[in-house]
Amino acid sequence: MSQKINPISLRLGVTQVWDSTFQFYGKSNKTYQSIFHKNYQAFTFISCIHNCSEFLLGNFVAHFNRNYTSIDFFCSISKPDKICLNLNQISDIISCWYDSKIFLFPYQKMNWFSSTKLISNYVKFLLSQNLNPTIILKDLGSFFELQFESEKIINSVKGPLKVQLKGFKIKLTGRFDNSRNQLSKNIVNKMGALPLTSLKSYLEFTSTEIYTKLGTCGLQIWLFYKIN
d(CA 91, CA 42): 10
Q: Identify which of 141, 153, 168 has the alpha carbon closest to the alpha carbon of residue 111.
A: 153
Predicted confidence at residue 85, as pLDDT, reads 47
Superfamily of domain 112-227: Ribosomal protein S3, C-terminal domain (3.30.1140.32)
Is the distance from CB of 16 to CB of 199 less than 8 angstroms? no
Find the mean pLDDT for residues 143-150: 83
Is the distance from CB of 107 to CB of 136 less than 8 angstroms? no
pLDDT tens per residue, range 17-27? 776 665 555 55
Q: Do domains 22-108 and 112-227 have the same CATH topology?
A: no
Find the mean pLDDT for residues 162-185: 81
pLDDT tens per residue, range 45-103? 777 776 665 566 666 777 766 677 777 777 765 554 555 546 777 777 777 776 667 77
**What would the CATH number be for the domain defined by 22-108?**
3.30.300.20
- Domain boundaries in the chain? 22-108, 112-227
d(CA 228, CA 216): 39
Find the mean pLDDT for residues 111-116: 69
Conformation bin of residue 41: beta by default, left when phi > 0, alpha when psi is -120 to 50: alpha
Predicted confidence at residue 108, as pLDDT, reads 67
pLDDT > 60? residue 189? yes
Find the mean pLDDT for residues 210-218: 81
Element (H, E) at 225: strand 215-227
d(CA 83, CA 54): 8
What values do phi and psi take at 179, rounded to 5? -80, 170
Predicted confidence at residue 2, as pLDDT, reads 52
Determine the length of the chain: 228
Find the mean pLDDT for residues 21-47: 68
Q: Which of 94-98, 107-111, 208-212 has the lowest mean pLDDT?
A: 107-111
d(CA 98, CA 125): 31
Is the distance from CB of 201 to CB of 226 less than 8 angstroms? yes
pLDDT band at 112 (very low <50, low <70, confident <90, very high): low
